Chain A
Amino acid sequence: MVKAKHDNVVVKADAINKTFSLPHDQHSGIKQIIINTLRGKRSGGYEKQHVLKDVSFEVCEGDFFGIVGRNGSGKSTLLKILAGIYKQDSGDLNIRGTLVPFIELGVGFNPELTGRENVYLNGALLGFNKIQVDDMYDDIVDFAELEKFMDQKLKNYSSGMQVRLAFSIAIRAKTDLLILDEVLAVGDEAFQRKCYQYFADIKKQKQTVILVTHDMDTVIKFCNKAMLIDKGHKTEIGSPTKIAKIYRELNNQNKNTVNESSNRNSNQYVHADATVDNQGSRIVFDINLKSKITLEEPMIALGIYKDDGQQVYRWTSDEKISKNIDITKPSNIHIELDNIFPVGVFTASLFVKKIDRTIDYAIFNDIVKFEVQNESLYKHDTFWKIPEKASFNGSEV
């Protein structure tokens, strides 16, 4: 590997390009090769997908560098190129020193082996020899709180136990560069806290880290620099707050277009778009509505759902604002909720109904989505009463 020029530059990526050849159908057989040869084309049946286009960036020593982007933006591909799992088609990538990638926990775990044997196997994949694993074995087991289970086969572990074991091995790795995928922070809340504690620890230790995530609060909390990737392009590099703002705008735009197309049937009468802004102490919804025809006695409802689909909150215009609203002109509804949401991902759906709930004029499922990173008293309740404030077309009610 070529050394980076500057002393404090750990990663220097210059114009990285990556294309995947996606087969149209079953391609990896001898039949296809014969067919393609007969047709006189060697690589027929492939579609080129340009996943990364001229992505350049630098990571310096001690940086906690966030890479953010939506699903399919190419951020995971970039991560895999950094980790040496994929090879870029063109572009220079210089990494100084050693790196450990955590794309997934427990890589190579074998269900037929005992916990102990898996520690040695997984440790070997991370580059630890037997003596090194011997030395840290007790710490690993202590941290995972699995003393009694180490001689049982892994297949008898719960998924939570497996993740705990894998995580306690992973955090032993001491290298010049750590590459983390947010999917690390899966599992129950207690485990997520452990993960974030680990992030905080390595940040304190000035460890150089590249973190891939779509959770903006994580980026703002831990990163000192972030990069936004959209459709394979590097869109922006900057401070985490700036990147988070751009990312949210991008996300909301996308959300609306998706909804317009996916709810074509239900919004033939109504046009709607919505944005959500997690301001920390408050969650702010802005909903713009316009009905294309005059609707008889309309009312508007906003339901908020946990990621398991359970409704946690419902706002209705007839109860909170007025029984008489007119949305034939472009209308705006502004709702501010005190942020008492627990950690998690939430979606909101918008309904336009007749006031007696007999007719659904329009349903916009999952019109916006937001994530919350704080603790709440309400987390065990099934339905919440949230301190709120709302306005219709600017006038407070």
Chain B
Amino acid sequence: MAHSVFKKYQYSLILLRELVITEFKLRYQGSVLGYLWSLLRPLFLFIILYVVFVYFLKIGSDVPHWPVALLLGIVMWNFFAEVTNNGVTSIVDRGDVIRKINFPKYVIVLAGSISALINMLINMVVIIVFMIINGVDVHWVSLLAPLYVFELFVLALGLAFFLSAMFVRLRDLNYIWEIIMQGLFYASIIIYPVSMIIAKSHILAELLLLNPVAQSVQDARQVLISNANPTLYTVSGNNIFIAAIPIVLVLLIFVVGARYFKRKSPYFAENV
């Protein structure tokens, strides 16, 4: 049985492997610093945001190790943005291949998101360095952090499936998604601490944390950096049902996205 399952997905696996390798080779091709850019880009964005928000606007001074939490948020957000932004156009971009040969199309979307995931794991090295410099205490509970990264990955992948399939017919989608992402960036509690919102409105903080991006980033901050980062669970007064909403949302988005993609994929070749 296991053998036949392997057989069924063998082609997909071969293809997935080659596409991920290709995408990695092409990513920083021709640039002098090459792969170093995947470390330098979030680092420079961090420096800019740190200077603006922490140094001048004095945001987050009440949260211990806030700069590290800020960096973690940026890295996770960039990962989410990369998977979805590249995801939108991924099927159309591969139109030339899709028109010539039949292969499982989901491999394209999966390869793009896995390549982004590897990129984010490299970025995690920078975060660990900053954690050490900042003297962040690491606990056993920190081992939960990959779980939240995985949650974000599933969400981003589900969205990428949905968006890439829809973009085949609706070519305005990448602009629409760009605008949504700009709003989502500020709504996802990346560049300011939750405490700032709680100080204004407890309900608003709870509402914003229902967004799975905000929730997973906040949870990762709590387990990895400091308990002073409130999560949906703590903000909702340890209400497990409310805390489950973003998880259910992630699963729902993934299932809907994947099913929509599966339904549309036989017609990609004639529509791209």
Q: List residues of chain A with CB under 8 Å of any chain B CB.
A: 20, 28-31, 33, 80, 83-87, 101, 103-104, 107-108, 110, 112-113, 117, 120-121, 124-125, 127-130
Contact A28 to B169, CB < 8 A, known contacts A87-B267, A127-B14: yes
- Tell which of B15, B26, B169, B270 touches A110, judged by Cβ atoms closer than 8 Å: B26
For the complex formed, measure the closest distance between the CB of B174 and the CB atoms of chain A, giving whole angstroms.
Answer: 12
Q: List residues of chain B with CB under 8 Å of any chain A CB.
A: 10-11, 14-15, 17-19, 21-22, 25-26, 29, 96-103, 169-172, 176, 266-267, 269-270
A83 CB contacts on chain B under 8 angstroms: 101-102
| CA distance in complex: A120, B25 (Å) | 13
Contact A86 to B22, CB < 8 A, known contacts A28-B170, A30-B172, A112-B29: no
Contact A80 to B14, CB < 8 A, known contacts A30-B170, A85-B99, A125-B103: no
B269 and A86: CB pair below 8 A?
A: yes
A121 CB contacts on chain B under 8 angstroms: 18-19, 22
| CA distance in complex: A108, B18 (Å) | 11
Majority secondary structure, A binding face: loop
A113 and B22: CB pair below 8 A?
A: yes
B171 and A85: CB pair below 8 A?
A: no
- Tell which of A101, A110, A112, A130 touches B17, judged by Cβ atoms closer than 8 Å: A130
A113 and B14: CB pair below 8 A?
A: no
A101 and B102: CB pair below 8 A?
A: yes
B100 CB contacts on chain A under 8 angstroms: 85, 101, 103-104, 107
For the complex formed, measure the closest distance between the CB of B17 and the CB atoms of chain A, giving whole angstroms.
Answer: 7
B97 and A28: CB pair below 8 A?
A: no
With a 10 A CB-CB cut-off, give which of A30, A80, A121, A124 has the most chain B CB atoms. A124
A28 and B171: CB pair below 8 A?
A: yes
A and B contact pairs by CB, cutoff 8 A, 18 listed: A29-B170, A85-B100, A85-B102, A101-B100, A107-B97, A107-B100, A110-B26, A112-B26, A113-B25, A117-B25, A121-B18, A124-B15, A124-B18, A124-B19, A125-B101, A125-B103, A127-B11, A128-B14
Contact A85 to B17, CB < 8 A, known contacts A33-B170, A112-B26, A112-B29: no
For the complex formed, measure the closest distance between the CB of B20 and the CB atoms of chain A, giving whole angstroms.
Answer: 11
A33 CB contacts on chain B under 8 angstroms: 170
A117 nearest in chain B by CB position: B25
With a 10 A CB-CB cut-off, give which of A80, A85, A103, A104 has the most chain B CB atoms. A85
| CA distance in complex: A111, B169 (Å) | 28
B15 CB contacts on chain A under 8 angstroms: 124-125
B97 and A125: CB pair below 8 A?
A: yes
- Tell which of B18, B176, B269 touches A80, judged by Cβ atoms closer than 8 Å: B269
For the complex formed, measure the closest distance between the CB of B189 and the CB atoms of chain A, giving whole angstroms.
Answer: 30
A108 CB contacts on chain B under 8 angstroms: 97, 101
A113 CB contacts on chain B under 8 angstroms: 22, 25-26
| CA distance in complex: A351, B97 (Å) | 46
A127 CB contacts on chain B under 8 angstroms: 11, 14
With a 10 A CB-CB cut-off, give which of B97, B170, B270 has the most chain A CB atoms. B270
| CA distance in complex: A31, B170 (Å) | 10
| CA distance in complex: A85, B96 (Å) | 12
In the complex, besides A28-B170, A29-B170, A124-B17, 17 extra interface pairs with C-beta distance below 8 angstroms are A20-B270, A30-B176, A31-B172, A80-B269, A83-B101, A85-B101, A85-B269, A86-B269, A110-B22, A110-B26, A112-B26, A125-B18, A125-B97, A125-B101, A127-B11, A127-B14, A128-B14
The list of the 4 closest CB pairs from A to B, nearest first, reads A84-B102, A124-B18, A87-B266, A30-B172
| CA distance in complex: A29, B167 (Å) | 10
B270 and A120: CB pair below 8 A?
A: no
